[in-house]
Amino acid sequence: MDSRTAQSSVQTDHIQEVPLTVDLLPPEVGQSKGTHTDPLPPSSPYTLFTPSHRRLIVVILILTMLASPLTATIYLPLLPLLAAHFHVSLQAINLTLTLYIVFQAISPLLFATASDSFGRRPSLSHHLLGLYSGKSWARAEQD
């Protein structure tokens, strides 16, 4: 007995053959309509949102996803003007765009991890609290 025969006999030992009866075949394969059993009734709907609500959610998500790339494309042509206005080099202003893109890439990683660990609502409220506290502190230090 060679290795192929031994291997195939081992594989067939664990396979259980299920006899194919006429009851398992669909009606178009030759089963009469009288013996066909009806399929199970549909289960509960996958979502409770109506089709119009689902379309609205999709539109809101599309507009939200467009906001980030649009801000970068609006900001890019203004770099020379901002450099002249703030009396800094073009490289320093370009660094702001670079940092924006880096944080845009890193933030989903951080926010998604926090959201999975603590839940969406606590994560969002803590991040917004930190954001506005940081803005208030920076504004207070500026004066």
**At a CB cut-off of 8 Å and minimum separation 6, what does 31 contact?**
22, 23, 25
Amino acid at 63: L
Q: Dump pLDDT digits (tens) for 26-42.
A: 555 544 555 555 565 56
Q: Tell me the C-alpha distance between 14 and 34, whole Å.
A: 36
Q: Tell me the C-alpha distance between 128 and 15, whole Å.
A: 58
Name the region of 51 (left: φ>0; alpha: ψ -120 to 50; beta: rest).
alpha
Residue-level pLDDT at 22: 47
Q: Judge whether 111 and 123 are in contact, CB under 8 Å.
A: yes
pLDDT above 60 for 72: yes
The mean per-residue pLDDT over the stretch 79-88 comes to 92
Residue-level pLDDT at 15: 58
